[in-house]
Amino acid sequence: MKNFFSILKEYSILTFGTVIYVLAWTSFLIPNGIASGGGTGLCTIVYFASNETIPVSVSFFVLNAILLIIGFMALGKAFGFKTIYIIILSTVLFDVFPKLGWNVDFDEKFLVAVVGGALEALGIGIVLMKGGSTGGTDIAAMVINKYWPVSPGKVYLYSDIFIIASILLVPGKTIEDMIYGYVVMITFSFMVDFVLLGQKSSVQVLIFSSKYREIADRILTMNRGVTAIRSMGWYSKADSNVLLVIVRRYELHAVVSIIKSIDQSAFVSVSSASDVYGEGFDEMKTGIDRKNKKKELK
């Protein structure tokens, strides 16, 4: 029963992310003549180029049915099943939502591009966090991020440059349309990293306190390691220990609360840690192991 509710919760979140993603396109971008990157952007360009005779839902399904094979091969069956669900749901929503007339029209097209890009990133970010994909460049982003420390946003950024530029091949489209597409792309690139990596950001905490033993013991109850570094106060010439702790940013409040409850006069320094590898944090991804495995197979 617990497993059932866990799966139900996971697919409910995937559905929510997919709805946001499709709404970004059908309510903001497509009605305002904007085509961004990714597989959906390519389908949108086909839609514009065919004088709106080939629906996005049709080209989206055909394109992703092909790309789905890559997902099975590189990321496993679990990835494939989730993506099949998302592709089918997205296809249905791309067909249904335009008929509802939920078009958002701002006076400033630039604002449409920014809001649309942010919503698109939010939707895809939610989907990727649950191990799914809407297809297109999402698959490439997940495969690369699985083996190399390259952020998903950068993968989208480089691949989408060429897709967006292809809108100039559509009759009636101008450089201005291409620029709006790049606005969406840039907004999307930054926002998707914020959604995906924001929860993984870490901080390094240095704690200076005479009660370092009590503080260290309490922090250990959080299942986080503590390192005591021998130190000497140059003014007092007294020997002591400085505690070094690395935690996720969302755990910082708990650490500070522990310190304040034990020593109100403690001196604390907090700095951002952009990359933390090891137990309890991220796995070091270099691609070396995979290359060695290929050599062994040969």
What tokens were used for 170? 């559509």
Rounded CA-CA distance 105/39 in Å is 24
28-49, pLDDT tens digit by residue? 999 999 998 888 999 999 999 9
Query: What pLDDT does residue 282 have?
Result: 60
8 A C-beta contact, residue 25 and residue 56: yes
Beta bridge partners of 267: 208
Mean pLDDT (the chain, rounded): 83
Nearest to 185 by CA among 162, 205, 209, 169: 162
Query: What pLDDT does residue 292 have?
Result: 53
Query: What pLDDT does residue 114 have?
Result: 93
Angle subtended at Cα 13 by Cα 186 and Cα 20, rounded to the nearest 5 degrees? 40
Q: Give all strands of the β-sheet with 227-232 in edge-to-edge order.
A: 227-232, 239-248, 202-208, 267-273
Does 78 have pLDDT greater than 60? no
- State the burial class of residue 252 (Cβ atoms within 10 Å of its Cβ: 0-12, 13-18, 19+): middle
Report the chain's terminal Cα–Cα distance, integer Å.
Answer: 46
Query: What pLDDT does residue 284 have?
Result: 60
8 A C-beta contact, residue 135 and residue 67: yes
Lowest mean pLDDT of 81-85, 133-137, 240-244, 291-295, name the range.
291-295
Lowest mean pLDDT of 110-119, 160-169, 191-200, 277-286, name the range.
277-286
Residue ranges of alpha helices (H) inside the chain are 2-23, 38-49, 56-100, 109-129, 137-147, 152-165, 175-197, 212-220, 252-262, 288-297
What would the mean pLDDT of 269-277 be, rounded to a whole number?
A: 74
Beta bridge partners of 206: 244, 269
Query: What pLDDT does residue 167 have?
Result: 92
Does 233 have pLDDT greater than 90? no
What tokens were used for 269? 């320094």
SS3 283: coil
Lowest mean pLDDT of 34-38, 182-186, 208-212, 289-293, name the range.
289-293
What tokens were used for 88? 């089918």
What tokens were used for 180? 């709006």
139-191, pLDDT tens digit by residue? 667 667 666 766 666 776 777 888 999 999 999 899 999 999 999 988 887 88
Task: Please state, as a whole number, how many other Cβ atoms lie within 10 Å of the Cβ of residue 2.
Answer: 6
Residue at 255: amino acid letter: V
Radius of gyration of the chain (CA): 24
Does 219 have pLDDT greater than 80? yes
Does 63 have pLDDT greater than 90? no
Higher pLDDT: 187 or 275? It is 187
Q: Which helix (H) or strand (E) holds 246?
A: strand 239-248
Lowest mean pLDDT of 93-107, 131-145, 223-237, name the range.
131-145
